[in-house]
Structure 1
Amino acid sequence: MDQFQRRREQFVTRMGDAVAIFPSAPELVRSNDTGISYRQNSDFYYLTGFDEPQSVLILAPGHPEVRSALFVREADKDKERWSGRRAGVEGAKARTGVDATYPISELADRLNGFLDTAAQLYYPFGVDCELDERMLQRMRTYRTTRARSGAGPVGVLDPATILHEMRLFKSAADVAGMRRAVEISGEGHLAAMRYARPGMHEYEVEAIVEYVFARNGAQSPAYPTIVTSGKNLSIIHYDTNRDPIPNGSLVLVDAGAEVDYYCGDITRTWPISGKFSAEQRELYEIVLAANVKAIELCLPGRTFNQDVSDAAQRVLVEGLIGVGLLAGSADQHLEQETHKRFTIHRIGHWLGADTHDVGSYRDAKGWRPLEPGMVVTIEPGLYIPDEADVPERFRGLSVRIEDDVLITAGDPDVLSASVPKSSHAIEEEIARGRATSQALIA
């Protein structure tokens, strides 16, 4: 049994007397009749390993013959000449190991045969609008017929309550996949440090990063690559990447590779000149200290958005006081949240098949504790506005440092540790790149 079959069995075991239906991601249009490269819905892929559009998975443990079914596009030689190969009905069955596969054109006729077998329906509204409407119509019909027939679900439940908790905890295979994605992400960051030069534009650094991702086998960036410099540094999710990099500016690169539906997410901030100025280094060391402190606390039993994040925020606030950007006590600023002018966001997020991965951060008891198998990002930052009441030497400076961390039964496992982050190690990496005449593309 492969990992996708195991996941389906785990889901079925948890859902009880129900049927679950999962649509694939829709195909998206970029403009007119030009499409966007297809990317499967993460939940659908997690359960099937199948990356074709116009597909629907049904899990029906109460069905007398077919406990798992996949509806897919039929093979079509003419269409495949234009848009690529299709698995077809037989190929999809061999690839996924489901009990049965059918043409997607038969879904409407076969749907009731699965729905009739269960008391509840698990269905994720919002993925496929056309199928959403069809499911609503079916449920309206069951509302009026179930009293007499006794067949069909009485309600609709969100499969995320089960599936997203499963995805939150990474298996050994998941961890191996994530290591690979983060490793390739790190190679992109190293290349940016080595090959970026004064006088470049932000998009040239973006091109370096994404070239290295592709050369190492990534299917795509995990999210739009962020390369900020100069006046753009304080924009958290700036991904326009069009401006020339000002001489002496910091460059903030937030980029990750996606490899086989696993995402990396790393941020490094470094000087285009190759050397941090005194002011840049002061801010950088504050953020680095917060990053290191937060990672130290990524331990089982600690709460991510309380213990870990609050500790990092305290380090940032104390650092801001130390350099004169804040006055007064750390406790006062943390209580009144006045520091958020400079810190803006909390410490990070779950990481997995999606960059901002799924799984709840809280339950009825409050912030949930970290557990082995979770993967988190640790990304403290400082963003100093270019405003008159800010000491002039810090105006417009911003720093963020982000690592990907696996929670284990022991010490935290920093998956992105290969990418230097001390200020001296970064300067050495930049110098090493500029000391060689070797071209990036050989």
Structure 2
Amino acid sequence: MDAHTSHALYTQRRAQLAAQLGPGGIAIVPTAPEQQRNRDSDFLFRHDSYFYYLTGFAEPNAWLVVTGEGESTLFCNPKDAEREVWDGIRLGPTAAPEALGVQAAWSVAELDQRLPKLLENRGVVWYPFATHKGLDARINGWLQPVRARVRYGALCPEQQRDLCGPLDEMRLIKDPHEQDTMRRAAQISARAHVRAMQRCAAMLRAGQDVREYHLDAELLHEFRQQGSQYPAYGSIVAAGANACVLHYRADAAPIRSGELVLIDAGCELDGYASDITRTFPANGRFTGPQRTLYDLVLASQEAAVAATKAGNRFTDPHEATVAVLAQGLLDVGLLDKNKVGSAQDVIANRSYFPFYMHRTGHWLGMDVHDCGSYVEPSEVGTVNERKDPLSGETIKDRPSRILRPGMVLTIEPGLYVRPAEGVPEAFWNIGIRIEDDAIVTETGCELISHGVPVNADEIEALMR
């Protein structure tokens, strides 16, 4: 994206937000703080997603102020020749208006001085609730001098409102630029998965010691080699029984021939995440029990993909997944129909839960678990009753979100079989998850992560 297009894109987003603030409204959006790792070392800085969505500005220690009249003011680090020798070139307030399209820019050192003046004579102050530690206190501190001037005729904002609501709705529908960036992120991540799968089989064939961290290293290499900035989240590389731990992190166990390996990993590219999971045989050949469960999970994903289209509900892919898994668990003997009944009984009583205990997907975007309500806002209060798939609790009058073109979500069914009484031993310690990234379209969905095989035969062919 060239500078002119970038300038117009972020200007348009700020204008869209300003229109929702109302006359006399003002919004305050900070970027993320820098985080200390230890002593004088910081973690690699990553901007706040709301802030970046509105500015495209990735420097730390910055704030954006937007008024209901469409005026945008940026506070950022000033130019500093000495610090720039150590930390890199800063944009600075003088260059910011032309570079970012804001109407004004000031040194962040002037934030406490200028914010009370910007807040004066405003009716509502908007900011993201419960996202930045100490932000409420900071805003109240800026309001104090404004309140002190009320007796002299100044107006102080009488309302504080959560900015997350309008921004979440804006971010939920991805524009063409966002979709293109996410396609490229998914392509890079798919190549990384392919690299890790092939490397695993090659190392085992060569008689080498293979550890989970070896495959993690292959992922990181491909992410950076292809231009992504960093992983979108901590990669999961889980061998054997470790795959039954949903958010496994140890990353040091040996990988043995005959085991399955589950990799849940995706890169972040230009502020947008990808999120792919593949499960594959370490030596390139599925065993009979592994293949049986793998094909069942894949069939459940195919059902979920078919249910992912505009006009359907966010819960429809999950329900399609559960329907396939419920029948499959009975068919393969993981559930005893004499004890749990029919597939409909399995679903109603959630008897599948010991083997499948998470949702089938989540929103994806600037954050890997992206913002946006799973409830349809246009139907809140409509008489409706449904069961939450995880808690089993009844949800009343809050229907599930209607899927619309441009929404992006993951589709990630799984099965996790731990040793237990009544569970066939042939399936013990098998953990399988298959996850792809999908852009909702008018007629279905576009799977943007299929650059890495998902069919079992194709996986085996890739790893030969």
1:87-98 maps to which residues of 2 (within 5 A)?
87-98=91-102
Q: Distance in 2 between matches of 1:213 and 1:293?
A: 30
Aligned residue number for residue 392 of structure 2: none
Scaled by the length of structure 2, the TM-score of the pair is: 0.89
Question: What aligned pairs does 1:313-328 form with structure 2 within 5 A after superposition?
Answer: 313-328=322-337
| Match 1:157 to one of 154, 161, 179 | 161
Any stretches of 5+ residues in structure 1 without a counterpart? 432-442
Shift of 1:193: 1.4
Tell me, yes or no, if the aligned pair for 2:21 and 2:68 is still in contact at 8 Å.
no
Q: Given that residues 183 and 448 in structure 2 are in contact (C-alpha distance below 8 angstroms), is that contact kept between their aligned partners in structure 1?
A: yes
Deviation at 1:141, TM superposition (A): 5.9
Q: Structure 1, residues 260-318: CA drift from partner, whole Å, max 9, x if none?
A: 0011100000000110000000000010001111011111111112x211110111111
Q: Equivalent residue of 2:309, what SS?
A: coil
Contact 1:383–1:396 (CA under 8 A) maintained in structure 2 = yes
Alignment correspondent of 1:395: 428
Question: How many Å apart are 1:127 and its aligned residue?
Answer: 4.1
C-alpha separation between the residues in 1 aligned to 2:40 and 2:154? 46
**1:147 Cα offset (Å):** 7.4
Give 1:410 shift. Answer: 1.8
Partner residue, 1:379: 412
Counterparts in 2 of 1:26-41, with a 5 A limit? Answer: 26-41=33-48
Residues 1:70 and 1:286: Cα distance change in structure 2 (over 3 Å) = same
Are the counterparts in 2 of residues 268 and 400 from structure 1 also a CA contact under 8 Å?
Answer: yes
Q: Residue 455 of structure 2 corresponds to which residue in structure 1?
A: 422
Paired AA for residue 409 in structure 1:
E
1:185 to 2:218 alignment: no
Once residues 368 and 419 of structure 2 are traced to their aligned partners in structure 1, the CA distance between those partners, rounded to angstroms, is 30
Q: Which amino acid aligns with 1:162?
A: P
Question: Could you tell me whether the CA contact under 8 Å between 1:61 and 1:68 is conserved in 2?
Answer: no
* Match of residue 236, structure 2, among 223, 226, 247: 226
Note the C-alpha offset of 1:93.
2.4
Distance in 2 separating the partners of 1:209 and 1:47: 30
Q: Residue 438 of structure 1 aligns with which residue?
A: none
CA displacement at 1:126 relative to structure 2: 3.9
Structure 2: distance between partners of 1:184 and 1:387: 39
* 2:441 corresponding residue in structure 1: 408
Question: Could you tell me how far 1:138 is from its partner in structure 2?
Answer: 3.5
**Is 2:111 the partner of 1:102?**
no
Task: Give the Cα–Cα distance (whole angstroms) in 2 for the partners of residues 262 and 386 of structure 1.
Answer: 38
- 1:335 aligned partner: 348
Q: 1:344 aligns with which of 347, 350, 357?
A: 357
Q: How many residues align?
A: 427
2:290 maps to which residue? 280
> In the alignment, which residue of structure 1 is the partner of 2:374?
361
Separation of aligned partners in 1, 2:134 and 2:304: 44
Aligned letter for 2:363? W
Task: Please list the CA deviations of residues 314-373 of structure 1 after superposition, one character each: whole Å capped at 9, or x if unmatched.
Answer: 111111111000122111111111211000101010000000000000142410110001
Structure 2: state its 5+ residue gaps: 1-6, 381-397
For residues 294 and 173 of structure 1, what CA distance do their matches in structure 2 show?
Answer: 26
Q: Secondary structure at the match of 1:4?
A: helix
**RMSD of aligned C-alpha atoms?**
1.6
Matched residues in 2 for 1:20 and 1:237: separation?
36
Inter-partner Cα distance in structure 1 for 2:331 and 2:120: 67
Go from structure 1 to structure 2 and tell me whether the alpha carbon gap of 1:423 and 1:320 turns closer, same or farther (over 3 Å shift). Answer: same
Residue 86 (structure 1) aligned to one of 86, 90, 103: 90
The whole-number CA distance in structure 1 between the counterparts of 2:290 and 2:10 is 47
In structure 2, C-alpha distance between the alignment counterparts of 1:149 and 1:135, rounded to whole Å: 21
Cα separation, 2, equivalents of 1:144 and 1:389: 71
Residue 237 of structure 2 aligns to a residue in which SS? strand
Maintained 8 Å contact 2:116/2:145: no
Distance in 2 (CA, whole Å) between partners of 1:398 and 1:172 is 36
Counterpart-to-counterpart distance in 2, 1:130 and 1:88 = 25
Match of 2:261 in 1: 251
Structure 1 contact 71–101 (Cα < 8 Å) conserved: yes
Q: How many angstroms apart in 1 are the aligned matches of 2:150 and 2:328?
A: 64
1:123-142 equivalence runs, <5 A = 123-139=127-143
Q: Is the 8 A contact 1:181 1:218 kept in 2?
A: yes
CA offsets, 1:376-423, max 9 Å, x none? 100000000122331100011010000000001123111112211010
- Aligned equivalents of 1:406 and 1:224: distance in 2? 23
- CA distance in 1 between counterparts of 2:14 and 2:154 reads 27
Letter in 2 for 1:13: A
The CA distance in 2 between the partners of 1:288 and 1:135, in whole Å, is 50
Give the deviation of 1:85 after TM superposition: 1.6
Could you say what secondary structure the match of 1:366 adopts? coil
Q: Aligned letter for 1:299?
A: K
Check the 8 A contact 1:226/1:254 in 2, yes or no: yes
Deviations 1:30-74 (A, max 9, x none): 112211000000000000000111111000234xxx811000011
Q: Secondary structure at the match of 2:463?
A: helix
2:58 paired residue among 51, 61, 70: 51
Residue 312 (structure 1) aligns with: 321
Give the TM-score of the pair, scaled to structure 1.
Answer: 0.93
1:13-28 to structure 2, matched below 5 A, reads 13-17=19-23, 18-28=25-35
SS of aligned partner of 1:267: strand
Aligned to 2:116: 112
Q: Which amino acid aligns with 2:34?
A: E
Distance 1:169 1:146 in 2: 41
SS state of the match for residue 367, structure 1?
Answer: coil
Matched, 1:241 2:231: no
> In structure 1, the residue corresponding to 2:75 is in which secondary structure?
strand
Residues 26 and 127, structure 1, Cα contact 8 Å, conserved in 2: no
